[in-house]
C-alpha cells in the first residue's frame, strides 16, 4: 500500500487523478535504507492490426503500480516498511525530471542511507570524482 499526503492509496480513485502519467516514490526498508524511483500508472501496448487493416493498434491499460516494489533487485516485498508517493506527475517528461530532481535533492549517490546506484544512467555511485 502506498502513502500520499498522509493518506493510504490503494487505487486510482483514492488519488483523484484523471490524466496523470505516474509518480515519484520513496521506499524505506527494514534496515533503514531508502530508494527513490518513478512509476507510471499506465502500460502502452502495441497490438497487431485487425484483419484487413495495416496499422498496429495501441492500447493503454493501467499498470500494476499498486503492487510495484521497485526496479532495484535489492528490494523485495518482505523488506519494505514504507512506500511513499512524493509527487504525482502529468507527463513522462515531468516524471523523469522530478525523479532526477528528487534524487539530487536527497543526495542519493553520496548518502549511504540510499541504495540508488545511479541517476538517469549517467551519474554512478563511486564515479563522482
Angle CA 113–84–37, to nearest 5 = 65
pLDDT at 129: 60
For residue 128, which of 116, 113, 118 has the smallest C-alpha distance? 118
Beta-carbon count within 10 A of 118 CB:
14
CA end-to-end distance (rounded Å), the chain: 38
Mind listing the pLDDT tens digit of every residue in the chain (129 residues)? 899 999 999 988 888 877 899 999 999 999 999 999 999 999 999 999 999 999 999 999 999 999 999 888 888 888 999 999 999 999 999 999 999 999 999 999 999 999 999 998 888 887 766
CA dihedral 103, 104, 109, 112 (to 10 degrees): -80
pLDDT for residue 105:
97
pTM confidence score? 0.89
Please tell me what DSSP assigns to residue 48.
Answer: P
CA–CA separation, 62 vs 85, rounded Å? Answer: 17
Amino acid at each position: 500500500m502506498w502513502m500520499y499526503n498522509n493518506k493510504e492509496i490503494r487505487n486510482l480513485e483514492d488519488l483523484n487523478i484523471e490524466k496523470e502519467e505516474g509518480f515519484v516514490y520513496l521506499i524505506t526498508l527494514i534496515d533503514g535504507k531508502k530508494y527513490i524511483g518513478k512509476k507510471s500508472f499506465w502500460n502502452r501496448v502495441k497490438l497487431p492490426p485487425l484483419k484487413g487493416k495495416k496499422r498496429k493498434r495501441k492500447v493503454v491499460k493501467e499498470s500494476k503500480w499498486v503492487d510495484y516494489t521497485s526496479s532495484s533487485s535489492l528490494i523485495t516485498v518482505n523488506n519494505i516498511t514504507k512506500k511513499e508517493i512524493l509527487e504525482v506527475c502529468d507527463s513522462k517528461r515531468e516524471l523523469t525530471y522530478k525523479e532526477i530532481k528528487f534524487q539530487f535533492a536527497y543526495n542519493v549517490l553520496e548518502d549511504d542511507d540510499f541504495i540508488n546506484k545511479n541517476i538517469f544512467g549517467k551519474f554512478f555511485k563511486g564515479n563522482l570524482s
